[in-house]
């Protein structure tokens, strides 16, 4: 199935989209990668969804990526005697280690790490910032606060701490069990929630041991401050604008989004823009103009993928949401201003042979107006290097490793095909040209550029490029 756009679409599965028929419809409408949210899926449902996605993949004949998104540490207040209490701006309110039901002056906070870490002046945001408090004092067992904004608090509402560096790892006990379960099913990407520090990624990587790629979700101020270090240890980043917009000023989020996208593009690592992209389509068949502009901005910036959350997981119009996102992306990439904006953000290549080959292949393809760049990639690195250049011609990534092709399905501009390794150089050229012809990216008389590593089957050794003509049989010639 050939897509007519370069940005990828990541669709979350949920109650509205878990059936085999609906997954197939979402893929046909434009979903390239599917997300399983482990906050809502138990292990049985997760395995069922993976099996259904793999069935759709087999029927479609195209690699489909799967992202398993771990819940991460969820911080919540305790319960109230009256379920909910009314507060006033300026009044004092205390969070403590007393498990008794709360009242209008205090509530239990079942997280000793928060009680020990919050300092005077730190903010506590309850229920996605609807209630805001400022810490006045803390003795390790109770935090005395002043209500700054909002007027009510109720049972089990979430707590955000934008000013506090908590001594929490990225994995809770639930996450560790979920991680073992999803790795056993062979998912392609692991989403890590509430990352604060590089060590969080190092801890997960020890468990994953290369069985899945790691995507760090940037949703806390602490992660933004340490973005270069986190990016270095990640395989991809997600701009998780929901919690990021709670813990940081809303007006700062668009700039942070651009910073993260550009940092990932410089590093040659995938970046996903997520949260509320087509939020109104949860209940409406068409998006708002502002939402269309939001998706278009991410596409213009050169993000690798844009994500649908509740729109596809629990909305009334999941297929329409995917189709709408696909339509927006296609139109943006046809806009005459699109190439210039993408080119303006290109970074200088790193001083490696693979980067030099990728740069040269893009320049040659554009100068000679070639029809496609075809790259052989075993580990996926060559495919990532080719996508980093953001060429305007299609990138056809050929890999003998199905796991590599599935991971690359998230990457900008890559059309992934699982193909056995070539036996020699002539077979490599013929195989590349034939696949490009069969996948309808080229026709007889077109020219393509092929990159690979010599000797063949040597991962990370991309050192060759070759221009080939497509003959009348769809094979390559000089």
CA distances (Å), origin 232, targets 38, 168, 205, 229, 399: 25, 21, 13, 5, 25
Q: Which of 35, 106, 265, 362 is catalytic?
A: 35
Alpha helices (H) along 61-197: 112-117, 173-185
- Output the six-digit token pair for 404: 């590599």
CA torsion, points 214, 304, 41, 287, in degrees to nearest 10? 160
Pairing relation of β-strands 462-470 and 33-37?
unpaired
Tell me if residue 277 falls in helix, strand or coil.
Answer: coil
The question of whether 275 is a catalytic residue gets the answer yes
User: Which letter does DSSP use for residue 140 in this model?
Assistant: S
DSSP H or E run through 53: helix 43-60
Determine the distance from the C-alpha atom of residue 146 to the mean position of all C-alpha atoms in its chain, rounded to a whole number: 37
Cα distance between residue 439 and residue 424, in whole Å:
22
The question of whether 144 is a catalytic residue gets the answer no
Q: Which of 47, 76, 146, 176 is catalytic?
A: 76
User: Which letter does DSSP use for residue 184 in this model?
Assistant: H
Beta-bridged to residue 456, according to DSSP, are none
Q: Which of 5, 52, 217, 447 is catalytic?
A: 217
Q: Is the peptide bond before 167 cis (omega within 30 degrees of 0)?
A: no
| Under 8 Å between Cβ of 296 and 273 | no
Cα distance between residue 384 and residue 368, in whole Å:
23
Q: Which of 94, 164, 275, 377 is catalytic?
A: 275
The catalytic residue positions are 35, 76, 217, 275
């Amino acid at each position: 199935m050939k897509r007519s756009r370069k940005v990828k679409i990541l669709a979350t599965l949920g109650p509205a989209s878990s059936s085999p028929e609906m997954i197939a419809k979402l893929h046909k409408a434009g979903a390239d990668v599917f997300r399983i949210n482990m906050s809502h899926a138990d292990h049985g449902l997760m395995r069922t969804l993976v099996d259904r996605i793999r069935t759709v993949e087999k029927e479609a004949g195209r690699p489909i990526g799967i992202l398993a998104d771990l819940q991460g540490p969820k911080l919540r207040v305790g319960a109230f005697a009256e379920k909910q209490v009314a507060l006033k701006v300026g009044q004092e309110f205390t969070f403590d280690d007393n498990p008794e039901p709360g009242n209008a002056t205090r509530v239990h906070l079942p997280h000793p790490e928060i009680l020990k870490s919050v300092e005077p002046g730190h903010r506590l945001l309850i229920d996605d910032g609807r209630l805001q408090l400022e810490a006045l004092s803390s003795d390790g067992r109770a935090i005395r606060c002043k209500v700054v904004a909002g007027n009510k608090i109720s049972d089990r509402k979430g707590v955000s701490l934008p000013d506090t560096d908590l001594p929490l790892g990225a994995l809770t006990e639930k996450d560790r069990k979920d991680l073992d379960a999803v790795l056993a099913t062979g998912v392609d990407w692991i989403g890590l929630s509430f990352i604060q520090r590089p060590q969080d990624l190092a801890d997960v990587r020890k468990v994953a041991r290369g069985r899945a790629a790691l995507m760090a979700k940037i949703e806390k101020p602490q992660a933004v401050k340490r973005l270069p270090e986190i990016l270095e240890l990640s395989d991809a980043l997600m701009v998780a604008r929901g919690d990021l917009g709670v813990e940081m000023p809303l007006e700062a989020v668009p700039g942070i989004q651009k910073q993260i996208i550009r940092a990932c593009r410089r590093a040659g690592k995938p970046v996903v823009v997520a949260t509320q992209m087509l939020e109104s389509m949860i209940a409406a068949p068409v998006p708002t103009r502002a939402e269309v502009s939001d998706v278009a901005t991410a596409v213009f910036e050169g993000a690798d993928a844009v994500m649908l959350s509740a729109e596809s997981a629990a909305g009334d119009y999941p297929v329409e949401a995917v189709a709408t996102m696909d339509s927006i992306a296609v139109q943006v990439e046809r806009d005459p201003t699109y190439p210039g904006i993408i080119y303006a953000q290109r970074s200088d290549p790193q001083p490696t042979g693979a980067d030099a080959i990728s740069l040269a292949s893009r320049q040659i393809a554009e100068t000679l107006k070639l029809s496609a760049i075809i790259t052989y990639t075993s580990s996926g690195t060559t495919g990532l290097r080719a996508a980093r250049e953001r060429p305007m011609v299609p990138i056809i990534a050929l890999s003998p490793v199905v796991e590599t092709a599935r991971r690359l399905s998230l990457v900008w501009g890559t059309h992934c095909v699982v193909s056995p390794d070539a036996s020699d150089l002539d077979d490599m050229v013929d195989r590349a040209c034939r696949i490009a012809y069969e996948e309808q990216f080229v026709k007889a008389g077109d020219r393509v550029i092929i990159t690979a590593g010599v000797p063949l089957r040597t991962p990370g050794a991309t050192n060759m490029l070759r221009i080939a003509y497509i003959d009348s049989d769809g094979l390559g010639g000089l």
